């Protein structure tokens, strides 16, 4: 099988022996998934694809096999669009792999791969250009211990929405890093009227028992989960991104709140579970490309995960075609807010 993506096409023509190497933050590419080595990814969907092909795949937040079976002979880091996220991956690799481990860094020119020269120099790591083609570049270096630790990339900031003030954990790999997204703000301003606390539900919750069981789908930095938990909801927060799940856990802890945060590719980890409400600011980008797939699954599969009378409430950019999906899944919808940039939709399961 030939490589499909430009970065993998560049790697495919190398004479390097990549057997046993780590492929760090890789794209979806059949050539990679049919080849050698281990995927290291914060994206659950990427890891699931590798594992479905019988290939090893690990998260940066789990116990690493290198501690038991020996470190890999080398690693390839696919430089992400987010410069700060690329720096985190570098710090993480320097921390977990032995000094002297070969590292190759590959990426598209328009994605900022040429900036790695300054990043490596700032960390005191030497670097040379190995190859370029397909508007991509490949650099190589060797890992060393550096003064900065991966945890140094984590930050915290305060968010104020109405009377609510929350401390949010933030990471370069999480949507809206370091700020409150305008769409999420509109959703939060709308939720008090849409989910009044203290109402009884058919699921057996008594008046005064908060909001019942609520699912925060695509939890990001955890602001929705924390807001809901503070109002008495029993929150389950899910995201396909391991950075987001970790950020939500840290956000809940920072505010002294309880809640469950788990990795899930939309509903993949929630088989058989139903909720009193699902709230979401669903993503529609995969890197630079528009991808409606996850949001479509969120909407179309929502009826199977809502109790009778349960609500799906989501915010979306005004131009996105979600009304059609809501009509297909529920037969109608209610528009709760519209500021011309974003819209908040609600549907209720009959």
Average pLDDT along the chain: 91
Partners of 38 in beta bridges:
22
Q: Return d(Cα 290, Cα 305) in angstroms, integer.
A: 26
Find how far residue 246's CA is from the centre of its chain. Answer: 10
**What pLDDT is attached to residue 184?**
95
Of the three residues 117, 151, 185, the one that is the final residue of a domain is 151
In this structure, the answer to whether residues 176 and 78 fall within a common structural domain is no
Axis-axis angle for helices 242-254, 223-230 (nearest 10): 40
In this structure, the answer to whether residues 169 and 268 fall within a common structural domain is yes
Of the three residues 151, 185, 202, the one that is the final residue of a domain is 151
pLDDT band for position 162 (cuts 50, 70, 90): confident
Q: Return d(Cα 328, Cα 248) in angstroms, integer.
A: 31
In this structure, the answer to whether residues 147 and 10 fall within a common structural domain is yes
**What pLDDT is attached to residue 290?**
55
In this structure, the answer to whether residues 159 and 147 fall within a common structural domain is no
In this structure, the answer to whether residues 164 and 229 fall within a common structural domain is yes
**Residue 335, domain extent:** 154-348
Residue 1, in any domain of the structure: no
Q: pTM for the complete prediction?
A: 0.92
Per residue in 20-50, pLDDT tens? Answer: 999 999 999 999 999 989 999 999 999 999 9
**What pLDDT is attached to residue 199?**
45
Which of 329, 261, 269, 263 lies closest to 295, judged by CA? 329
Per residue in 169-203, pLDDT tens? Answer: 999 999 888 999 999 999 999 999 999 765 434 44
Per residue in 302-323, pLDDT tens? Answer: 999 999 999 999 999 999 989 9
In this structure, the answer to whether residues 277 and 209 fall within a common structural domain is yes
In this structure, the answer to whether residues 146 and 167 fall within a common structural domain is no
Residue 128, in any domain of the structure: yes
**How many domains in the chain?**
2
Of the three residues 133, 151, 169, the one that is the final residue of a domain is 151
**What pLDDT is attached to residue 210?**
67
In this structure, the answer to whether residues 320 and 173 fall within a common structural domain is yes
Q: What is the CATH number of the domain that holds 60?
A: 3.40.50.150
What is the percent of the chain where pLDDT is above 70? 91
User: Residue 287 pLDDT more than 60?
Assistant: no
């Amino acid at each position: 099988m030939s490589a499909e993506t430009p970065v993998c096409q560049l790697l495919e023509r190398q004479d390097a022996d990549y057997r046993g190497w780590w492929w760090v933050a890789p794209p979806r590419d059949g050539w990679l998934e049919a080849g050698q080595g281990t995927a290291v990814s914060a994206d659950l969907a990427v890891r699931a694809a590798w594992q479905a092909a019988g290939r090893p795949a690990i998260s940066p937040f789990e116990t690493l096999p290198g501690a038991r079976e020996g470190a890999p002979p080398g690693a390839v880091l696919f430089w992400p669009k987010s410069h700060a996220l690329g720096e985190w991956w570098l710090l993480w690799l320097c921390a977990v792999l032995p000094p002297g481990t070969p590292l190759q860094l590959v990426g598209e020119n328009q994605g900022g791969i040429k900036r790695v020269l300054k990043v490596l120099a700032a960390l005191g790591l030497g670097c040379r250009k190995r190859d370029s083609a397909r508007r991509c570049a490949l650099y190589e270096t060797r890992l060393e211990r550096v003064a900065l630790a991966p945890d140094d990339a984590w930050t915290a900031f305060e968010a104020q929405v109405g009377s609510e003030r929350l401390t949010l954990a933030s990471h370069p790999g999480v949507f809206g890093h370091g700020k409150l997204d305008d769409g999420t703000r509109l959703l939060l301003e709308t939720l008090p009227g849409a989910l009044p606390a203290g109402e009884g539900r058919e699921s057996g919750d008594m008046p005064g028992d908060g909001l019942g069981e609520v699912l925060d789908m695509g939890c990001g930095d955890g602001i929705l989960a924390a807001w809901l938990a503070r109002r008495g909801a029993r929150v389950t927060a899910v995201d396909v991104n391991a950075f987001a799940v970790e950020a939500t856990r840290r956000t809940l802890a920072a505010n002294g709140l309880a809640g469950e945060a788990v990795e899930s590719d939309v509903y993949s980890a929630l088989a058989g579970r139903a909720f009193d409400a699902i709230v979401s600011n669903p993503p529609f980008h995969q890197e630079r490309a528009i991808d409606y797939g996850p949001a479509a699954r969120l909407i179309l599969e929502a009826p199977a995960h809502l109790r009778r009378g349960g609500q799906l409430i989501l915010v979306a950019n005004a131009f996105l075609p979600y009304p059609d999906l809501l009509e297909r899944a529920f037969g109608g919808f209610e528009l709760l807010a519209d500021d011309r940039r974003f819209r908040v939709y609600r549907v209720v399961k009959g």
